[in-house]
Structure 1
Amino acid sequence: MLQELKSIYSKQAKHELLQTVREFHTSKQAEGQSVSSHVLKMKGYIDNSERLGKPVGQNLVVSLILVSPNKDFDSFMQNYNMHGIGKTVNELHAMLKLHEETLPKKDANPALHAIRAERVQKNQKNKPHKAAKVGHGKGKGKTGYASNNATSTPKPKTPPPPKKDNPAKDAICHQKLSQGAGTS
């Protein structure tokens, strides 16, 4: 009877281990899910595997966690791999949480932005575009709207004078020239 129970439970344990490994390998962070909750879920798979008597190596666990976050963490993963940082799961978890804090915030409802953008476009279509005002001074000059036909030619830009290597030396030479011109 004892052997029958062992065989039943060993089959169940093998099936549970297979299911745990499958979920661990295919687990990806969902959009909008915090990296902390995702890593905790991954740690749960590791703990379950150890409970079933099949511990997973530290390097494999770190590698599987590194490939599971969403595309927002691509730069983090590249940096981690370039510098060959060997960290534990807990250290990696802390690093991922810090990186998540530096990411730009995403709005939960992108459809709301589309609706707002559509309203702005409708409002801009309904409003007439005003031309630039002609008189900007405080005086009693004419204030009207510039005609659309008026073309203004921009002033040509003059390049700044070349910088002198030694302005003090140039000043001394200028003074000597002016003194020499007066003595002759």
Structure 2
Amino acid sequence: MSPDLQKNFFEKEMTFEIKSEFQNMFQEQARTERFETHRQIVESKLKKGELIRPHVLKMIGLFENMESLDAEYSNEMAIDIVLHSLHKGYDKFKMNCNMHSME
């Protein structure tokens, strides 16, 4: 094989290896971020005395982050998770939402 062909082959091979390495690195980073974001969603709880608006906005942001990581929740699932995160003072509200299939 001529030196030019060897150089061209080596550069293409290195480019493929580098791309593959970057892809693996970013996939692992995305997996870690998905795991952490999902953990935050599951552990989110509104405490008595806290305002509901900032809590819901925070959860919406977490759901949007999951969507950007290609792991989105359906709207129905997201609503169920948000309702579940509310404290017992919102039980009548939750029951009302479920009875009337509110979105």
Could you tell me the TM-score, scaled by structure 1's length? 0.45
The answer to whether structure 1 residue 80 and structure 2 residue 87 are counterparts is no
* 1-structure distance, mates of 2:93, 2:26: 42
- Number of residue equivalences: 86
Q: Which residue of 2 aligns with 1:28?
A: 45
- Asked which structure has the greater CA Rg, the reply is 1
- The answer to which structure has the higher helix fraction is 2
2: CA distance between counterparts of 1:10 and 1:76?
A: 40
**Partner amino acid for 1:39?**
V
Aligned residue in 2 for 1:10: 27
- Superposition map of 1:138-157 within 5 A: none
Shift of 1:30: 2.1
Q: CA RMSD in A?
A: 1.1
Residue correspondence of structure 1 range 98-117 to structure 2 within 5 A = none
Which position in structure 1 is the counterpart of 2:86?
69
Query: Which 5+ residue runs of structure 1 have no aligned equivalent?
Result: 88-184
Q: Which amino acid aligns with 1:69?
A: L
AA of the residue aligned to 1:76: F
Q: Which amino acid aligns with 1:86?
A: M
SS at match of 2:26: helix
- Distance in 1 between the 2:102 and 2:49 partners? 28
1:86 Cα deviation from its structure 2 partner: 3.4
**Greater relative contact order, per chain length (Cα 8 Å cut-off, separation 6+):** 2
Moved over 3 A (4+): none
| Structural mapping, 1:123-138, within 5 Å | none
| Percent pairwise identity | 31
